[in-house]
Structure 1
Amino acid sequence: MTYCVGMRMNAGLVFLSDSRTNAGVDHIGTFRKLNVFENPGDRVMVMMTAGNLSISQSIRQMLGDFVGSNGHSIWTAPNMFEAARVMGEAVRSVHDREAAQLKEFGIDFNVAIIFGGQIHGEKCRLFQIYSAGNFLESHDENTYFQIGESKYGKPIIDRVISPQTSLDEAAKCALISMDSTLRSNISVGLPLDLLVYETDSLAVTRFVVVDEKNQYFQMLRSTWGEQLKHVFEGIEAPAWEAMPTRASGPVRMPPPLTVAPVVTAPAPLQTVAQQFNH
Structure 2
Amino acid sequence: MTYCVGLLLNQGMVCLSDTRTNAGLDNISTYRKMFTFEVPGERVIVIMTAGSLSVTQTTIARLHEAMDDEIATPETSITLAPTMLKVAQLVGNTLAAVRREIDEKLSMSQGASASMIVAGQRKGGGMRMFLIYPEGNFIEATDDTPFLQIGEHKYGKPILDRVVRPETGLQDAQKAVLLSMDSTLRSNLSVGMPLDLAVIEKDALQVTSRRRIEAGDEGFRAMSEAWSNALRDGFTRIAV
Fold conserved (TM > 0.5)?
yes
**Secondary structure of the residue that 1:74 maps to in structure 2?**
coil
**Secondary structure of the residue that 2:66 maps to in structure 1?**
coil
Q: Is the 8 A contact 1:23 1:187 kept in 2?
A: no
Q: 2:128 aligned to 125, 148, 167, which one?
A: 125
* Distance across 1 between alignment mates of 2:167 and 2:196: 24
Please name the residue that 2:117 is paired with: 114
Letter aligned with residue 16 of structure 1 = L
Unaligned runs of 5+ in 2: none
Q: Is the 8 A contact 2:73 2:80 kept in 1?
A: no
Q: Is the 8 A contact 1:6 1:114 kept in 2?
A: yes
Unaligned runs of 5+ in 1: 239-278
Please show how residues 210-221 of structure 1 align to structure 2 within 5 Å.
210-221=213-224
Residue 107 of structure 1: CA displacement? 3.6
Please name the residue that 2:9 is paired with: 9
Please name the residue that 2:46 is paired with: 46
**Does residue 95 in structure 1 map to residue 95 in structure 2?**
no
Please name the residue that 2:84 is paired with: 80
Question: Which 10-residue stretch deviates more, 222-231 or 16-25?
Answer: 16-25
Please show how residues 130-169 of structure 1 align to structure 2 within 5 Å.
130-169=133-172
Residue 101 of structure 1: CA displacement? 1.2
Residue 123 of structure 1: CA displacement? 1.1
Please name the residue that 2:182 is paired with: 179
TM-score (norm 2): 0.94
**Secondary structure of the residue that 1:223 maps to in structure 2?**
helix
Residue 77 of structure 1: CA displacement? 0.7
* Distance across 1 between alignment mates of 2:104 and 2:194: 34
* Distance across 2 between alignment mates of 1:23 and 1:96: 21
* Distance across 2 between alignment mates of 1:192 and 1:12: 20
**Radius of gyration: which is bigger?**
1
Residue 95 of structure 1: CA displacement? 2.8
Please name the residue that 1:192 is paired with: 195
* Distance across 2 between alignment mates of 1:10 and 1:23: 38
Q: Is the 8 A contact 2:196 2:212 kept in 1?
A: yes
Q: Is the 8 A contact 1:66 1:90 kept in 2?
A: no
Q: 1:233 aligned to 229, 232, 236, which one?
A: 236
Q: Is the 8 A contact 2:74 2:82 kept in 1?
A: no
Instruction: With a CA cutoff of 8 Å and minimum separation of 6, indicate the structure with the bigger relative contact order.
Output: 2
Residue 91 of structure 1: CA displacement? 1.3
Question: Which 10-residue stretch deviates more, 58-67 or 157-166?
Answer: 58-67
